[in-house]
Structure 1
Amino acid sequence: MTDTPRLHSAGTTAPLDAARGLRPLIEREAAQAEALGRLTDPVVNALHEAGLFGIWVPAPLGGAELSPRELIAVFEELSYADPSTGWVVMATTLENGTAGAYLGDDAVEHIFKGPRTPLIAGQGTRPGTAVRRDGGFLLSGQWGFASGMLHAQYAHSLAAVEGTGETRICVTPIEDVTMLGNWDVLGLRATGSIDYAIHEAYVPESYTHVFSLDEPLRGGAIYRLGLLDQALICHSGWALGVGRRLLDELARHAGARAGRPGQLAGSDAFHAGFARAEAGFRAARALVHQTWDEAERALDAGRALDVRQETMVRLALNHATSTVADVAGFVHASGGTAAVRDGLIQRLVRDVHTGAAHITSGPQALQECGRELAGLAPGERWELFALREA
């Protein structure tokens, strides 16, 4: 694999600095975004102007094509500012990037021709149906949890090809989408992760790619991870950002009441609990960075991840998410009325428990990780969230 492009890196902190610079705006707009059920226009425009929707787009198309750890850092920063903003950016940039890497030339030339990076949103689970027709497909189906769809120009939808069962991602103009709404949820309200439907939309083959594709037509080694493993990058960065913000907000809450009789700051039990929560979070963060450091080394050397490395990136995400959920429980129990009444701490707790329900952090992957780590899956390889015979 000596002719395989090496791992691309921005080689600069500019994208991370841009994300950090938007924190005051994102924080100011977060409450209104939650009420609207989508990000506000000032935030979306600022993200565009900062180039943050292009951080996953292949470099040959003018994107930043950040490395996994660079992406994690940006998602961590945006999710610290507001979990919904971080979630929308991670979801749309993943789909922007994989479209740029895997779609055919005709599709890419059309989609990426404008001065702004297009936003692509949709769903890659529970497939619809694609019927072969005239050099393309007729796409129909209904999908859920389309994060960022209310800001998108294109939809990214999984479909099973009729007659073969092959699964493909189909990218269609937003005009082909019927938005079904129904994003009435506990947390991550500002992501606008609505359900949507498409009925017999014609999709040229160039606007599709096999779901499991891991050899890019454009760009470097990050796209050899395939779509699912790239999604693990998103959720890892998101969990780390929200977990850090929860602990920082609780520390501010306790510190503001220090010196008053009977307050949290004077409780030995709180001190010990905070120390355990801090240690658990930092250990989970270290595992995420260690596993992705090892993954980057493999990719940059021209190798695919081996089974153990794929196990570890799944386990690192699962562990980070469950750890942050535990942190949220501690913050909620310690925060008193600040965690009960409407406000930042309450919103962070709701957002964490909603994000932790995502399939990428579900119990099946954890069980399979344990089976592989215990040496009970010889000759098997990862397919999505399960190990199968190679």
Structure 2
Amino acid sequence: MEQERSMTTTRTQLPGDLVAAARDLQPLLRDHAAASEQAGELVAPVADALHDSGLFGMWVPRPLGGAELDPLSSVQVVQTLAEADPSAAWVLMAAALATGTGGAYLGDEAVAAMFTGPRFPVVAGQGTRPGRAVRDGDGYRLSGSWSFASGIKHAQWIHTLGVVEDTGEPLIFVLPVEQAQLVDNWDVMGLQATGSIDYTIEDVPVPAAFTHHGPTETPVRGGDVFRLGIIHFALIGHSGWALGVSRRMLDELAALVRSKAGRPGTMADNPHFHTVYGEAEARWHAARAFVHDAWRAAAAAIGAGRPLDVQEKTMVRLALYNATWAAHEISQAVYRAGGTTALRSGAIQQYFRDMHAGTQHVTSAPGVIEACGRHLGGLAPGHDWLYMNLVPAEG
């Protein structure tokens, strides 16, 4: 049909294209980072560039013109964007997840409505705290209130979690953004440009084709990467984000110290600084290696046609947790070493604030490391992961 033909001929890109596209966007993102923060959302040149590069389609199924980007290339894309602007990277990974998994898991009626025109749709919302849904004929009626809808100011569609009252089934609902009430309340310390505002939905009808089982790992369309399920796309994105933020902070600090080399008493001649910086670099490279190792193993599993086992699921969660808190430690070291430069408006200050916003995400909460320890210590036999919780396995 016309819609599918236009998408596949104008948007399909190879993984290397998207990694290069992210790199090419770095100067633009850096130039507009302050303006996006002030606006509380990505400014138009940034949003347009993410569209024009095809990055919003990095996890869209190939039959819909997307890239179905592999896990390691996806980590690279998000890391590269985060090195230029953490908010832009955060919006991209959140919207790409909701857009791509919608394309993979929703019914044909929904996909035909959403994937039209020369650009990929932007889908955003909240996939954790659930609303409530009641059956209504062949569909549902959805109500609830949600927070942290990153990128929703750029979205045409909302992706949101609800639980069906009579069955307890968790479903993802996708509906036009106009059917929600947006609450413009994003007054925060960091990640200001993500515009991660609240929204409410009150008794809105949603056809069954615009829903899918929340934890599904069975795609309606697309390849093996969609056997990861929604949560693992989130883990990929947050891993790349933590690596990108901490990499930029290290690079900014090194540039600052080099700029003052030759003056008496500067950090450039301070052995203690050399030690601190060397330890921070070691921590970053170790975190990156762990993330890549864990996702290389996960990619091999889905490439072999099997789902991730509980050990592989544990390791990608542990790698993200480690990368996030390694990045937090790096941000602390960079801020201390940066002195009054870090206090003033600029990249180090912005990245310090954004990093401390990122540590509040549920994917790196204390319960995650506790559950990883239970599994790795052999203390949770017969358990498996459901989102970020280790629970008794079904069956």
Aligned residue for 1:383?
386
The 2-side partners of 1:74 and 1:258 are apart by 33
Residues 1:218 and 2:213 aligned together: no
Of residues 360, 363, 372, the one that matches 1:357 is: 360
The 1-side partners of 2:275 and 2:70 are apart by 37
1:58–1:100 contact (8 Å) kept in structure 2 = yes
Deviations 1:110-144 (A, max 9, x none): 10122110000000111111111121111111100
2:249–2:331 contact (8 Å) kept in structure 1 = yes
Aligned residue for 1:44?
47
Letter in 2 for 1:181: D
Structure 2 SS opposite 1:64: coil
Name stretches of at least 5 consecutive residues in structure 1 with no aligned partner: 1-8
Aligned residue for 1:255?
258
2:215–2:387 contact (8 Å) kept in structure 1 = no
Equivalences for residues 1-390 of structure 1 within 5 A: 12-390=15-393
The 1-side partners of 2:263 and 2:257 are apart by 10
- State the shift of 1:289 in Å: 0.2
1:10–1:66 contact (8 Å) kept in structure 2 = no
1:311–1:372 contact (8 Å) kept in structure 2 = yes
Give % identity: 52
Deviations 1:307-356 (A, max 9, x none): 11000000000000000000000011100111111111100000001011
1:121–1:156 contact (8 Å) kept in structure 2 = yes
Structural RMSD (CA): 1.1
Aligned residue for 2:3?
none
1:221–1:302 contact (8 Å) kept in structure 2 = yes
Structure 2 SS opposite 1:84: helix
Decide whether aligned partners of structure 1 residues 10 and 292 sit closer, same or farther in structure 2, where only a CA change above 3 A counts.
Answer: farther
State the TM-score, normalized to the length of structure 1: 0.96
How many aligned residue pairs are there? 382
The 2-side partners of 1:83 and 1:252 are apart by 19
Letter in 2 for 1:102: Y
1:140–1:197 contact (8 Å) kept in structure 2 = yes
2:13–2:66 contact (8 Å) kept in structure 1 = no
The 2-side partners of 1:97 and 1:68 are apart by 14
Letter in 1 for 2:380: A
The 2-side partners of 1:385 and 1:122 are apart by 18
Decide whether aligned partners of structure 1 residues 11 and 63 sit closer, same or farther in structure 2, where only a CA change above 3 A counts.
Answer: closer
The 1-side partners of 2:57 and 2:215 are apart by 23
2:14–2:67 contact (8 Å) kept in structure 1 = no
The 2-side partners of 1:351 and 1:41 are apart by 21
- State the shift of 1:104 in Å: 0.4
The 1-side partners of 2:389 and 2:132 are apart by 23
Letter in 1 for 2:149: A
The 2-side partners of 1:146 and 1:314 are apart by 22
Deviations 1:189-235 (A, max 9, x none): 00000011111111100000010111000111111111112210110
Deviations 1:51-97 (A, max 9, x none): 11111100011111111111111101111110000000000000001
Name stretches of at least 5 consecutive residues in structure 2 with no aligned partner: 1-11
The 2-side partners of 1:159 and 1:323 are apart by 34
Letter in 2 for 1:326: E
2:139–2:207 contact (8 Å) kept in structure 1 = yes
The 2-side partners of 1:177 and 1:342 are apart by 36
State the TM-score, normalized to the length of structure 2: 0.95
Structure 2 SS opposite 1:69: helix
Letter in 1 for 2:122: L
Structure 1 SS opposite 2:262: coil
The 1-side partners of 2:169 and 2:241 are apart by 31
